[in-house]
Amino acid sequence: MNRDIKLITIISAIFGLSSGMFGILFTLYLDDLNVSLSTIGAIFSVSGLLSFFVMIFVGVQSDVWGRKIVYSVSLLLAAISRFLMPWFTGVGELTIVKIVQDYALKARTAIHPMFVFEHVKEGYAKLIARIQGIELIFSATGSLIVGSILLFLGYQGSFISLGLILFVAFIIFQFVRESSWPKVERKSIKEMYSFDISRQLKLICGLNFLHGTGFSISHSVFIYTLFFRNKFALDPLTLSLVLGLHHFAFGPPMLILSKIFSNPNLNYKKVTMVGNLLIGVPHIISVFIPSFIPAYVVWLLHDIAGGSIWQPALQTLTQSYSRDESRGKDTNMTSVFRNIGGIIGPVIAGYLADININLPFLIGGIILALGSLSLIPLDELTSIHRVRNC
């Protein structure tokens, strides 16, 4: 790895540590404020809806301004919103802070893969799998320690610590060089939001919508946190442990399985479809298992066997079918459809959970599994060097 990629990996590790702590902390904070599940779902959806409107704009402007400034702002806003979180207790206030948080997370998520791709195109799939694997391991570490930190620091000290950790990542990122991208002129509003992407990316948009909907129903952090907390009556320390292991089930397998992306004949379409299917099915099966440990082990398979191969494969497909001169717009356009699903999903999940805590896993898992069918018409890709950016 070159110097910039090493720094990006360090930043990803710090970001993962903070995010692993925040997901559980924010959910427990809302639950302890006696916010209902349906209201929590609405908070997640409203924040996702408002951030959605700026994502394409951010992607297009990154083609004009460069990737680094967008990445920097996303880290800074995430740090500020986490730092300020404990000073708000009202639903309206928390929704506003969550909007800022979601914007920062979505901007960083959208820019990160293309930023890495534009630094190192050769061996991208293997590299991005390893960077994300490391990020997930640190996210798991954050999930494991958040229960203990909450006991010692309380909500205020914990949220402040998360903000400071991310501010350190922001400072380190300033030493990373800008990626190499074809500079373009500003686009009009019409050009910015025109759906002029390739047929291949439109198919990926369809997958992203179904995945975003199914995943946010079954896998919104408040859903799986409260699924295990309420269904199996887990205390905060045990909950922190099992959710930390959840992320460890994602990171190390992704690092180990990154070796398969060294194969020049690997079919990224089939890997993406199989991975997506294996994310959905374990959610469905775990609903019907009455004992905690067996249900938890089956549920973990969605990361071990599914997410660890799905995410790098899909990102490779997206980057490969995106145009060099409008990579920011193309990749963000596909991400927007996942975000639309992410807007719908939490509201559905909240109402389903109020009826029965099992329903989000069941319904979301079915939508995820069926989503794999949307890629059947996609051209098969075995090498990113065979794709024409047109």
Alpha helices per DSSP H over 120-185? 124-173
Q: What is the pLDDT of residues 137-146, one digit of tens each?
A: 898 888 778 8
Residue count of the chain: 390
- Using a pLDDT cut of 90, give the percent of the chain over it: 30
Q: In this structure, are residues 329 and 192 in contact, taking their beta carbons and an 8 Å threshold?
A: yes
Which residue did the predictor score with more confidence, 139 or 361?
361
Work out the average pLDDT over 274-286. 95
Q: In this structure, are residues 60 and 187 in contact, taking their beta carbons and an 8 Å threshold?
A: yes
Work out the average pLDDT over 220-241. 79
Predicted local confidence at residue 385, as pLDDT: 45
Q: What is the pLDDT of residues 78-111, one digit of tens each?
A: 999 999 888 888 888 888 888 888 888 878 887 8
Q: What H or E segment, with its residue span, contains residue 381?
A: none
Whether residue 384 has pLDDT greater than 60: no
127-131, 243-247, 343-347: lowest mean pLDDT where? 243-247
Whether residue 386 has pLDDT greater than 70: no
Q: Where are the domains of the chain?
A: 3-176+189-386
- What rounded mean pLDDT belongs to the chain? 84
Backbone angles phi, psi at 102, to 5 degrees: -65, -40
Work out the average pLDDT over 173-187. 76
> Quick one: CA torsion of 351, 94, 240, 350, rounded to 10 degrees?
0
Domain 3-176+189-386's class? Answer: mainly alpha
Work out the average pLDDT over 236-261. 79
Work out the average pLDDT over 345-367. 90
Whether residue 113 has pLDDT greater than 70: yes
Predicted local confidence at residue 221, as pLDDT: 66
Predicted local confidence at residue 6, as pLDDT: 93
Q: What is the pLDDT of residues 299-344, one digit of tens each?
A: 999 989 898 899 889 988 998 888 877 787 788 788 778 878 877 8
Cα gap 306→360, rounded to integer Å: 19
**pTM of this prediction exceeds 0.85:** no
Q: What angle do CA 379, 345, 357 make, to 5 degrees?
A: 125
Nearby residues of 41 by Cβ (< 8 Å), 6 or more positions away:
220, 222, 346, 347, 348, 349, 350, 351, 353
- Using a pLDDT cut of 70, give the percent of the chain over it: 89
